[in-house]
Amino acid sequence: MRRVLVTGGAGFVGRHAVAALIARGFEVHAVGRRAPEGAHVVHPADLLDAEARRAALRAAGASHLLHLAWVTEPGRYWQSPDNLDWTAASLDLVRGFREAGGTRAVVAGTCAEYDWTGGGQASTTNGHLTESAPCRPATLYGAAKDGLRRVLTGYAAGTGLSLAWGRLFYLYGPGEAPGRLVGDAARALLAGRRVATSEGRQRRDFLHVADAGEAFAALLDSSVEGPVNIGSGAAVPVRAILETLGRLTDRPELIDFGARPLSPTEPACIEADIRRLVEDVGFRPRLSLDEGLRATLAAYAAR
C-alpha cells in the first residue's frame, strides 16, 4: 500500500483530501496539531517546529506528500508575517521528505499568485487564467506561495523529486471559517439576519471543498508535474451566488446589494482554466454550483 503524509489533514480542504486518498488505496499518515478523521496514523506535531517536523517525517517513512497546511485565518492571512514562517517550514518539509526517501509531492498553491492587475493576462483574457499566466502577486500570501513554488521547482529538478503544485481558486462548503462569503451568507440567511454586500458584479470561480479535496487526491495519484489549476472552470457573478442562497432559503429580501462598496482594486473576473486538471490529471469537478450550495445550506441547517 502506498503511504502518504498529509499536512493540514484536519482542515477545510484536508478532511476531504484524506477521505479521497483513502478511497484511492493510500495509507494515510497525518501530521499536525489536530487529528483528521479516518487517518490511519497520526503524528502529533507543530509543523513550525523544525525538530518535531523532521521527527514526523522519519516516523512516517512516506513515499508521497500532500502539503496543505498554511496560515489561513480569513482577512489576516493576506498580509500576515506568518506567511514567512510557513514558507521556511515548507521548504524544510519538502527537503526533509525527499532526504527521507520520498518520491512524489503535491503542494497547495493559490490563484493569488497570478497577476490580478489591469496590466496582466487576467485583463487581456477576461480573467480566464491558464497555468502559464504571469505570476505577479499583490499580497504577501500570494508572494510567499509563488516564491515557495519557484524554489521547490528548482529543488525538485535537481533531486529527482516528482512535484506538482495545485493552485486553488475560490472555495466554499460546510465548515468554512467565519469571514468567508458563502459560509457567512448561508449562516446569516438561515438565522434570519441581513447580509450587507456589494453589487456583486465581480465574477469569481467557486469550487465546492469536497471537489477540491478529491482534486488534490487525484493530482497526487497522477504523474502530472508543475502547476495545475484547481477550480470549477466557470466564474459566476458573486451576485448570482447570493441570489441563489436567498432563493434556496426563501429569504432573498435579506440581501442588501450595494450596501458595501467594492474595492477599486478588485478584479472584474478571476476564472480557472482547468484543462490540465481534466485532461492530464483526469479529474472533473462533480458538484454543480446549485448542488453545492444546496448541500452547504443543508449542512448548516442541520447544526
Question: Is 219 within a domain?
Answer: yes
- Mean pLDDT of all residues in 227-241: 98
24 CA to centre of own chain: 20
Question: Is 106 within a domain?
Answer: yes
Question: Is 302 within a domain?
Answer: no
CA gap 246, 239 in Å, rounded:
10
Q: Give the residue from 226, 235, 219, 220 showing the smallest Cα distance to 272.
A: 235
3-state secondary structure labels for all residues of 130-158: CCCCCCCCCCHHHHHHHHHHHHHHHHHHH
Question: Is 262 within a domain?
Answer: no
CATH of the domain at 155: 3.40.50.720
Question: Is 261 within a domain?
Answer: no
Higher pLDDT, 124 or 71: 71
Question: Is 120 within a domain?
Answer: yes
In this prediction, residue 124 carries a pLDDT of 42
Q: Which SS3 state, helix, strand or coil, does residue 71 take? A: coil
Question: Is 293 within a domain?
Answer: no
- Mean pLDDT of all residues in 244-269: 95
Question: Is 301 within a domain?
Answer: no
Q: Please state the pTM of the whole predicted model.
A: 0.96
CA gap 243, 237 in Å, rounded:
10
Structural domain of 168: 2-172+206-233+272-286
In the predicted structure, residue 123 carries a pLDDT above the cut 50: no
CA gap 165, 263 in Å, rounded:
29
Residues 85-117 pLDDT 10s: 999 999 999 999 999 999 999 999 999 999 987
Number of compact structural domains in the chain: 1
Query: Is 288 in contact with 241 (CB distance < 8 Å)?
Result: no
Residues 197-222 pLDDT 10s: 999 999 999 999 999 999 999 999 99
- Mean pLDDT of all residues in 170-190: 96
In the predicted structure, residue 120 carries a pLDDT above the cut 50: no
In this prediction, residue 122 carries a pLDDT of 44
What does DSSP say about strands 41-44 and 27-32: parallel, antiparallel, or unpaired?
parallel
